[in-house]
A and B are shown apart, each in its own frame.
Chain A
Amino acid sequence: MKKWVQEHHFLIRKIHSLLGVVPMGVFLMEHLITNSFGKFGPEVYNEKIEWIQGLPYLLAMEIGIIFLPILFHALFGVVFLWAWKDNSLQYSYSRNWRYTFQRVTGVIALFFIGYHVWKFRIETALTGIPVNFDLVAGAFQNPLVFYFYFLGMVSIVYHFTNGVWSFLVHWGITVGPRAQQISTYVCAALGLGLLYIGLDALWAFV
């Protein structure tokens, strides 16, 4: 496995980085917006969920655009962790901390997404429990679940927006220090915006 990964290193890393933005990042933004319908009350929210559940080719899209990319990104993300020997405490430059947080939030996101998909997609499909506003609101009655969602939201938004910054470097788009500095600001603004949208929607269910 290790040898195979090293032989196809370039391709795997590039696909890993691309998938993080498209489709995963795009899906994340879509998902956060859909969540926000919760702000308009259970009826509107349930209507939107039903609309999504009624989409043609839903399962194929879920597998092709969501499950497989996440699986690939997560699997190789974990494999790449072997090269991580942290030194942020000794050399505490802000970029070094962001490098560290990228890895920590990635691992948190992995557990969070695993739980989230199991709870609201697989378990409900197996038991036939309908996915709707009440199901989410019911789950959030448990403060542990709610804070786990809070942590998951912060981690995923950070991982995505800092990932966009890295993507731009990794693909040779932002090359010089000035371009990378400006992209830091743009990505931070995107992150704060998404965080607001994400957390605001969380509170709509409590």
Chain B
Amino acid sequence: MKTVRFKIKRQQSLDTAPYWEEFEVPYRPGMNVITALYDIAKNPKTADGKATSAVAWDANCLEEVCGACTMIVNGKVRQSCSALVDALQQPICLEPMTKFPVVRDLRVNRKRMFDALKRVKAWIPIDGTYDLGEGPKLSPQDQHIGYALSKCMTCGCCLEVCPQYHDRSPFVGAAALSQVRLFNLHPTGKMQEEERLETIMGEGGIEDCGNAQNCVRVCPKDIPLTTSIADLNRKTTAYALKKFFRS
């Protein structure tokens, strides 16, 4: 029987030491990393036959739009649902992302990303005590840019590869910055433009970007992250000058 070999970095909880285990699962044509993880869960035995606990992982949409199954596959961060076994070298090495705290095995807690979105107010406030009516129209050009930016699934690939994003640094990272561009582009969102710019001009904001530009290379949604960052550089610089000369 043809089998596929896996090498998985396991960790029971955040404060226990990680260890490696190898697994062997039956090969099926077209299988991906997630289907293999299901096979391991069905029969949690290491490659040399020892019984072990099932490997924990996150997955949801299984079509590369939710970001939940992001992990490091053979040294590169990506979604494991679209990581086809046929295209990978064996043993396939699976590790949890390194920039977020491990919950268990391949499952991490991306809370820091959601906190960043809250910090930069990545939404458009429309709630009020009365009906605000329809908002202004969005030009087709802006729709085009906005659509590309709106595809972000908060997977964290861009942060995993960012040399400026880690536990010593308060950086909000490329994903949240790009969302600032998205919501400042929107005619209703624009009403909070200066507030968002102020936020990213503070601690952990845009100035923490080091221009390594890895983010744009790995984003599975091809979001023009470096363009977003440079655009925000322009906006924050213009805003700072305006603020200074009008003060």
Contacts and interface: CB of A to CB of B under 8 A. Distances in A.
- Asked if A and B bind, the verdict is yes
A82 B217 CA distance: 24
A31 interface: no
B226 interface: yes
Contact of B163 (A9, A86, A173, A175): A86
Most chain A CB atoms below 10 A, which of B75, B204, B233: B233
Contacts of A127: none
Nearest to A17: B207
Contact of A9 (B207, B211, B224, B237): B207
Interface residues of A, number: 32
B35 interface: no
Nearest to A176: B227
B212 A85 contact: no
Interface residues of B, number: 37
Contacts of B231: 172, 175
A83 B226 contact: no
Interface string A163-190: 0001001111111110010000000000
Contacts, number: 102
A13 B230 contact: no
A6 B207 CA distance: 10
A30 B213 CA distance: 32
A91 interface: yes
Nearest to A13: B207
Given A9-B202, A14-B237, A90-B75, A172 B230 contact: yes
B133 to A, nearest CB: 34
B164 A84 contact: yes
B168 A83 contact: yes
Contact of A99 (B170, B212, B224): B212
A93 B230 contact: no
B217 A172 contact: no
A173 B218 CA distance: 24
B203 interface: yes
B234 A172 contact: yes
B172 interface: no
A174 B237 CA distance: 13
Contacts of A53: none
Nearest to B198: A10
A97 B183 CA distance: 32
Nearest to A168: B230
Contacts of B156: none
Given A6-B203, A83-B164, A96-B212, A172 B227 contact: no
A6 B202 CA distance: 7
A7 interface: yes
Contact of B203 (A7, A86, A171, A175): A7
B169 interface: yes
14 contacts: A9-B208, A10-B201, A10-B240, A11-B240, A82-B168, A83-B169, A83-B210, A85-B163, A85-B164, A85-B166, A91-B217, A169-B211, A173-B234, A174-B230
List of 7 A-B pairs having minimum Cβ-Cβ separation, nearest first: A172-B234, A99-B212, A172-B233, A13-B207, A95-B213, A175-B230, A6-B203
Interface of B: 75, 161, 163-164, 166, 168-171, 201-205, 207-208, 210-214, 217-218, 224, 226-227, 229-238, 240
